[in-house]
Amino acid sequence: MIPVQGMGGLRVAVLGLGRSGLSAARALAAGGAEPLCWDDNPAARAAAEAEGFECLELTKAGAFDNIARLIVSPGIPHLYPTPNPVVAAALAAGVPVDNDIGLFFQSFATSEWNTFDVAPRIVAVTGSNGKSTTSALIHHILEHAGRNSQLAGNIGRGVLDIEPAPSGGVVVLELSSYQTDLARSLTPDVAVFTNLSPDHLDRHAGMGGYFAAKRRLFAEGGPDRAVIGVDEQEGTFLAGQLTEGAVDDRVIRVSVERKLTGPGWQVFARKGFLSEYRNGKQVASIDLRNIAGLPGSHNHQNACSAYGACRSLGLAPKVIEAAFHSFGGLPHRSQTIGEKGGVRFVNDSKATNVDSAAKALAAFKNIRWICGGLEKEGGLDGLQEPSASVRKAYVIGREAAGFAMQLSVEAEVCTTMQAAVAAAIKDAEEGDVVLLAPAAASFDQYDSFEKRGDDFARLVKEHLSAD
C-alpha cells in the first residue's frame, strides 16, 4: 500500500466505494487521515463499514464542513454531462476535488528515496486504444530485463494498492481520460500517448474536451520524456507543444502509417518492421511479423510505443526484441482462444469503439465477425473500409437489427452470443477467423467487456473440446 502523505489529521470525503474508492480510503487511513465514505449503493456502504470506515451522507446540508478534500471514483461525472450532486456540493463549499491518481502522485516519493542508488520511476500510458496492451507490454519487457516493475491504474492493481518502490523500481500506469482529467497531481517520468479516436464524448463534452483530458498528463505532468503517437493531428499537435525544436529528443514520435524522418528521435513500423531512428540515422530494426502476441498494425503501434518507453529507461533494442517474442498478449485484446479445423477463434471484446474494431478487422483476413452491443456516438461509418476482410457479420445485442442495418457486409441478426458463435461456427471454413470485435459497449447484455469476452471464450472452448 502507498500511504497518502500530507493529509494526516484531516477529514477527507470519499465518493464511490468500488475498487478505487475503498483503496483510497485505506491509503488515507494509513497516512493518518480520517476518511468519510459515501456511496448510493447500501451494499457498498455496508462493505466500507465492515472495514471500520465511517459513512457520511454527503448530500446533506453541511456535509462538507471541515472536509479537506473530496476523492471521487472514476465513473462519477464531475463536470459533464452534469456534475454529480455531491461533487457540485463540494465545489460550492470550496472543497478541492481529486481522485486516487492524484493521491498516488502526491504520495509516491518518500524520504527513503534519499538512500536509493537509483530513484524509482513512473511510466504513465494514456490514449484511446492500446493503453492496456502497451502498459502490459512495457511491464513485461521490464520484468524480462530483470527490472523491478509494478503494473497498476486502469489495469492490474489500484494505484494505491501497490508496494512502495525499491531502488531502481518502475511503476507502469495505464490511465484513462477519467483519471487524468481530475487528478490534481500528475508527475510521470515517462508519459506515453498512443492515439486518439472518439470515445467518452458525453463525459468530456466533445472531442476537444476528451483530448484536453489526455493532454493534462503531458502539459501539467511535465514528463522527462514523452512518447507520442503522431498518426492523428492531436498527437502531432501535442508533440509540437512539448518539443523545443527538431533536435529535441525529449519527445519520441511514433507512427504506423509512415516513415518518420528528421533529426529527432523516431520509432515507426512499416510492412511489419519496427525501426528506430535518431538524428536521421537508423539505430535498430525489429521484425514484428511473426510475433504471435502482437498481431496487426494496431499492435505494431503498441509495440512502437512500448519500445520508445523502454528505450527511455535505458533498455537495449535486443533486450526489448527478445521480450516481444515472449509476450502472450492480454485477455480480450486480439487473444487467440484456439483453432479447430483450420478455423481460428480470436477474442477482441475490448474493441468497444469503432476505431479499435476497425484495427482488429484490419489484422486478419476471411473474418466471421461477431459484433454489436450498446452503440456509441458517431455511428459505424469508420468500419466500411476494414469490412473488406469480413465474409459475414453475426450481430449481437438488444438493438442487433438496427446495428446490422448500418453494416456494409452481409449480416445475420443473432442477438445473443450463443446464437452468434453457433452461426459463425456453422458457416466457417478452413482459413477463416471467427473474431469477436464488437465496436460497441457491452452494458446492454453484460456487466463489462471482460464478461462479454469470457462468454465468447467459454462457448468457443466448448466447441474446441467437442468431438
Could you tell me what percent of the chain has a pLDDT over 90? 86
Q: How confident is the model at residue 365 (pLDDT cuts 50, 70, 90)?
A: very high
The yes or no reply on domain 11-98 and CATH 3.40.50.720 is: yes
Interval 436-447: pLDDT, tens: 999 999 999 999
Residue 416 contacts residue 407 (beta carbons within 8 Å): no
Residue 33 contacts residue 10 (beta carbons within 8 Å): yes
User: Please, what is the end-to-end C-alpha distance for the chain in angstroms?
Assistant: 49
Alpha helices by DSSP H, 65-176 = 85-92, 100-107, 131-144
Q: Which fold would CATH assign to domain 335-465?
A: Protein-Tyrosine Phosphatase; Chain A (3.90.190)
How crowded is the C-beta side of 434, counted as CA atoms within 13 Å? 30
pTM, whole model, 2 decimals? 0.86
Residue-range domain boundaries for the chain:
11-98, 110-325, 335-465
Number of other residues whose CB lies within 10 A of the CB of residue 57: 11
Interval 20-49: pLDDT, tens: 999 999 999 999 999 999 999 999 999 999
Q: Is 28 exposed, middle or buried (0-12, 13-18, 19+ CB in 10 A)?
A: buried
Angle, alpha carbons 47-5-172 (nearest 5°): 80
Provide the pLDDT for residue 379: 79
Reference 13, options 57, 46, 44; nearest CA is: 57
Reference 301, options 254, 253, 363, 239; nearest CA is: 254
Looking at domain 110-325, which CATH architecture does it have? 3-Layer(aba) Sandwich (3.40)
- Annotated binding-site members for ATP: 127-133
List Cβ neighbours of 127 (8 Å cut-off, separation of 6 or more). 134, 192, 193, 194, 195, 196, 214, 229
Residue 198 contacts residue 206 (beta carbons within 8 Å): no
Alpha-carbon distances, residue 299 vs 37, 186, 413 (angstroms): 40, 27, 30
Q: How confident is the model at residue 262 (pLDDT cuts 50, 70, 90)?
A: confident
Q: Does pLDDT of 414 surpass 90? A: yes
Angle, alpha carbons 343-380-452 (nearest 5°): 50
Residue 158 DSSP class: -
Phi, psi at 119, each rounded to 5°: -65, 140
Q: How confident is the model at residue 334 (pLDDT cuts 50, 70, 90)?
A: confident
- Annotated binding-site members: 127-133
Q: Which helix (H) or strand (E) holds 373?
A: none
The span from the CA of 43 to the CA of 158, in Å, is 21
Rg of the chain over Cα atoms, rounded to whole angstroms, equals: 23
